[in-house]
Amino acid sequence: MKELHPDPNRSEPIHPRVARRAGILLLVVGLLFLVLLLRIFLYQTVQYDYYQQKVIEQMTTESSVNASRGNIYDRNGVLLATNVSTYRIFISPSSIRSAQVELKEEGDDTRLDELIAQHLSSILDVSYEFVMKQTEYTRYLDRTIAREVDEDTADQVRRFIDDYSLQSMVYLQSTHTRYYPYSSLGAHVLGFTGSDGTGLYGLEYKYNKLLAGTNGRYITARDASGDEMPYTYKEYIPAQDGYNVNSTLDVFVQSALEEQLRNAYTESNGQNRAAGIVMDVNTGEILGMAVYPGFDLNDPWTLDEQSAQQLIDVGYSEGSEEYAAHKQALLLQMWSNKGITESYIPGSTFKVVTASMALEESVVTLNESFSCPGYKIVLGQKIKCHKHGGHGSLTFVQGIQQSCNPVLMSVGLELGTNTFYSYLKAFGYLEKTGIDLPGEGSGVLAAEESFTDLDLAIYAFGQNFNVTLIQQITAVSAVANGGYLVTPHTVSSVTDDKGTVIESYGTSVRRQVVSSSVCKTVADILEKGVSGDGGAKNAYVAGYRIAAKTGTSEKKERECPVCDSTGAPKKIDGVTKYVCNICGYTGEVSEFAVSQDCVCSTVAFAPAENPQYAVVIIVDEPTSGVLYGSTVAAPYVANVLEAILPYLGVEAVYTDAELQNQTVKIPNVSTYWRGSVAKKVCEQYGLTVEFVGDPDGIVYKQYPEADTIVEKNAGRVILYTDKEPEETMATVPHLEGLSPAAANQALINAGLNIRIEGTKNLTGGGVKVVSQSIPTGAVVPRGTVVEIKLLYLEDTD
């Protein structure tokens, strides 16, 4: 029977299922508690450093401390690339927002973002809208407004900050901007840096890691609003500045080379740039390397004048995608170092190498006789000499000096394809030189297994294959230095600011190619081709024995119908199309018209009896004047050598004939000297005197004026002995096309002085006046100096 009144204090028994659930729940809670304790333990011990760093990262900001990029110097310690202090101007949008909130709370309606945008846009020459846009990024503490700001402009920003108490909102960060004191000098060797200071071209790129250094860091603690906290966590890690690069370039040599490149290119109206190199034949050091037109290293994104005109001529709308792409292609071409990246057909300058091979292998003697009818037939192909009527009977030496193609073909065939090709390898034509500059290209030659006698015959006189300019001067330098192929280089050492050498780079000889006796013989042959009646007389320099060889090579290319640049074949969907190298236009082969241009070049080394320096100049696609290497390049190679050899300590040794043909400065005899005394002084200088007035009177005026340069033993001075003399006038005769003697006589008859530019080697026929400084028919004072330029025009190659 059930109890009618159960005991309320007596508990009901717990059902086993409920008890089991409660136990499980308790276990889970216990486990969770243990996991939580374990996590707390880990946070406080094992993972303490990790989470401490996470907290620090959230409460700190890190500023970069820029390392100072190393300098670049020439071989004499002249500064070529350095840094100037500039500033980055930036704002803190987060701080601006916080300050704006505080102002509102104080009842101030000033719009800080508008205030900052108004003043910074005016000071920094940026748009108001741009600055306002940056203030909208309120989660950020750093938004850049302008870079590379100069000191004067930075001072204006500082005054603005102080005037409006914006120290927590507008900031200046001192930075380094790359600066090149000589602007365009050595542009294609030095290269330049990008906006972030990283090297993009040339030595700046090649040695970027050594130049760049390592940036430091400055760490400070800030709150969520970007304000510096009173209990700041700070750390300063100093920057490590970059090392200095000491180049082998010489500012004087580089300047002389660039001046002559400009003259050669402009006077021949070149269309596809010119390039030149000056190299120490014994060490491989590059003293000068240049391309014309060049560009300003301090403003490398601006096209040179010729490229800018090409951009205009193509007709694209400025701002269009086509315009931008074409401009970018022109910039890349302008920046490229033609001396190492592009290849060309060497022409007759390669005959130096062929002659060395032949003499080394004893397949020819110096006085061996050859016959040149104007061509040679090889494997059924009639290959012409540059002298279409032929040279007739001549020796091997004469064949080299007069650049006879059949002579070189004959000795090349005597060598045979295997031997000839092995020398191509030995002279370095099938490999890169290893020069320490980025972007070195390679030559283009037939494969050895397909190299035929026909190839050999044409290669022997330098046609139908391509080499780079650095390969060619390196190979010729091997002939100059006694037969050793050296590695060209542009850097001698890397040092720190204390002068401690970090890395050094010396002479590297790859191999000996030919014997020193053969080299001396070839140098003598080439020198006599300059000083005697050879084809390189325009490379003559008085006082020095110059060994030189000129060259002219043909170019057959297809021109783009859009921009007249060259195109190259490319397989597209199995069909051969032509694609423009500049604008990218793609079309049928028939749309790209064949153009035939030339490359004119000259390579020389001096002194021939003890070679020290080699010079090479090429002008790509000259269009004006007599288009041979002997006229387009040789005179300018001579000018480079004439300028640099005395500077480099190579002493001139003049022959008696050269001493007679030297120039002289007109002395100052118009300081109230007696006529008889003035006449005696002038005659001591080898000058003829002509008086206007009493020969025994006082000299009040002279013409030409003192220090004017004239030819010795051909100059005359007009002395005026009247107090108020009336100048006697003369008419300039027509001189172009005359021989030197005829031009000199014409000027003497007119009462004028002569000054000779160009070759002064007058041993052979064919030298003519190609230009005169004062136009025909001009009326000038008697005694005026007329400068004439002489060239051998009959020397072809």
pLDDT digits (tens, 9 = 90+) for 206-255: 999 999 988 877 666 655 555 555 545 556 678 899 999 999 999 999 99
Confidence grade of residue 584 (pLDDT, cut at 50, 70, 90): confident
Q: In whole angstroms, how far apart are CA 168 and each of 408, 449, 568, 654?
A: 79, 74, 58, 75
Joined together, the tokens standing for residue 126 give 């940026």
Per-residue pLDDT band at 60 (split at 50, 70, 90): low
Amino acid, single-letter form, for residue 62: E
pLDDT at 152: 92
Phi first, then psi, for residue 130 (nearest 5°) are -65, -45
Burial of residue 141 (CB within 10 Å: 0-12, 13-18, 19+) is middle
Contact 122, 179 (CB under 8 A): no
Task: Supply 437's token pair.
Answer: 């500059």
Report, as an integer, the average pLDDT of 524-536.
91
Comparison of pLDDT for 245 and 745, the residue scoring more: 245
Q: Taking residues 686-699, report their average pLDDT.
A: 90
- pLDDT attached to residue 551: 95
From 20-29, 427-436, 694-703, 712-721, the region with the lowest mean pLDDT? 20-29
For position 610, what pLDDT does the model report?
A: 96
DSSP string, 240-257: BPPPEEEES--HHHHHHH
Check whether 641 has a pLDDT greater than 90.
yes
The answer to whether the beta carbons of residues 621 and 599 sit under 8 Å apart is yes
Cβ burial 357-395 (10 Å sphere, 16+ → b, else e): bbbbbebbeeeeebebebbbebeeeebebbbeebbeebb
Q: H helices within 213-315, ranges in order?
A: 251-267, 305-313
Q: Quote the radius of gyration of the chain (alpha carbons, Å).
A: 38
**Percent of all residues in the chain with a pLDDT value above 70, rounded to a whole number:** 90
Can you tell me the distance from the alpha carbon of 465 to that of 415, in angstroms, rounded to the nearest whole number? 18
Q: Residue 527 and residue 152: Cα distance in Å, rounded?
A: 59
Give the residue with greater pLDDT, 701 vs 39. 701
The percentage of the chain sitting over the pLDDT mark of 90, rounded to a whole number, equals 65
The answer to whether 521 touches 552, Cβ cutoff 8 Å, is no
Tokens 């000499």, located at residue: 385
Query: Residue 239: what residue type?
Result: A
499 CB neighbour count, 10 Å cutoff: 8
**pLDDT class of 596 with cuts at 50, 70, 90:** confident
In angstroms, what CA-CA distances link 441 with 342, 475, 477, 600?
6, 16, 19, 20
Report whether pLDDT(715) > 80: yes
pLDDT digit string (tens) for 336-359?
999 999 999 999 999 999 999 999
* Bond before 775 cis per omega within 30 degrees: no
Tokens of 718: 């007009």
User: Is residue 38 helix, strand or coil?
Assistant: helix
Residues 603, 476: Cα–Cα separation, whole Å: 8
Residue 776 has pLDDT above 50, yes or no: yes
Burial category of 258 from C-beta neighbours within 10 Å (exposed 0-12, middle 13-18, buried 19 and up):
buried
Residue-wise burial string across 561-588, b where 16 or more C-beta atoms lie within 10 A, e elsewhere: ebbbbbbeeeeeeeeebbbbebbbbeee
* pLDDT the model gives residue 535: 87
Identify whether 607 is preceded by a cis peptide bond (ω within 30 of 0).
yes
Q: pLDDT confidence of 10, banded at 50, 70, 90?
A: low
For residue 543, pLDDT beyond 80: yes
Q: In DSSP terms, which residues pair with 771 in a beta bridge?
A: 789
Judge whether residue 264 has pLDDT over 70.
Answer: yes
Locate 765 and state its tokens: 């026929």
pLDDT of residue 374 exceeding 50, the answer is: yes
Measured CA to CA, the distance from residue 198 to residue 208 in angstroms comes to 7
Q: Are 424 and 447 in contact (CB under 8 A)?
A: no
Render pLDDT for 551-569 as a digit per residue (tens, 0 to 9).
Answer: 999 877 667 777 667 776 7
CA distance 64 to 197: 14
Q: Which two tokens stand for residue 671?
A: 């300081």
DSSP 520-581: HHHHHHHHHHHHSSSTTGGG-BTTB--EEEEEEEEEEEEE-TTT--EEEEEEETTEEEEEES
Neighbours of 219 (CB within 10 A): 16
Whether the Cβ atoms of residue 690 and residue 718 lie closer than 8 Å to each other:
yes
The residue length of the chain stands at: 797
Q: Note the pLDDT of residue 1.
A: 45
Q: What is the DSSP string of 139-195?
A: T-S-EEEEEEE-HHHHHHHHHHHHHHT-TTTEEEEEEEEEE-TTTTTTHHHH--B-T
Which residues fall within 8 angstroms of residue 27, CB to CB, at 6 or more apart? none
Where residue 8 falls among pLDDT bands split at 50, 70, 90?
low
Instruction: Give me the phi and psi of 332, to 5 degrees please.
Output: -60, -40
Question: Mind giving me the DSSP string for 64-113?
Answer: EEPPPPPPEE-TTS-EEEEEEEEEEEEE-HHHHHHHHHHHHHTT----HH
Query: Cis ω on the peptide bond leading into residue 293 (within 30° of 0)?
Result: yes
Q: How far apart are CA 144 and CA 90, in angstroms?
A: 4
| Spatial separation of the C-alpha atoms in residues 437 and 190, rounded to whole Å | 9
**Full-model pTM:** 0.83
User: Is pLDDT of 163 > 80?
Assistant: yes
Mean pLDDT across the chain: 89
Could you tell me which residues are beta bridge partners of residue 86? 175
CA distance 164 to 719: 74
Q: How many Cβ atoms sit within 10 Å of the Cβ of residue 677?
A: 11
Mean predicted confidence (pLDDT) in 731-750: 91
Average pLDDT over residues 475-484: 98
CB 228 within 8 A of CB 218: no
Average pLDDT over residues 652-667: 86
The DSSP element (H or E) to which 731 belongs, if any, is strand 729-731
Cα of first residue to Cα of last residue in the chain, in angstroms, is 140
The pLDDT score that the predictor gives to residue 740 is: 87
Helix 417-426, helix 351-360: angle, nearest 10: 120
* Structure confidence at residue 317 (pLDDT): 92
> What is the side-by-side strand order in the sheet with 274-280?
286-292, 274-280, 613-620, 593-606, 547-559, 566-572, 575-580, 586-587
Mean pLDDT within 116-131: 94
Mean of the pLDDT values across residues 490-497?
Answer: 96
Q: How large is the angle between the packed helices 112-124 and 151-164, nearest 10 degrees?
A: 160
H helices of 465-538, in order, are 469-480, 516-531
Question: What is residue 31's predicted lDDT score, i.e. its pLDDT?
Answer: 81
Gap between the Cα atoms of 81 and 179, Å rounded: 6
d(CA 362, CA 415): 9
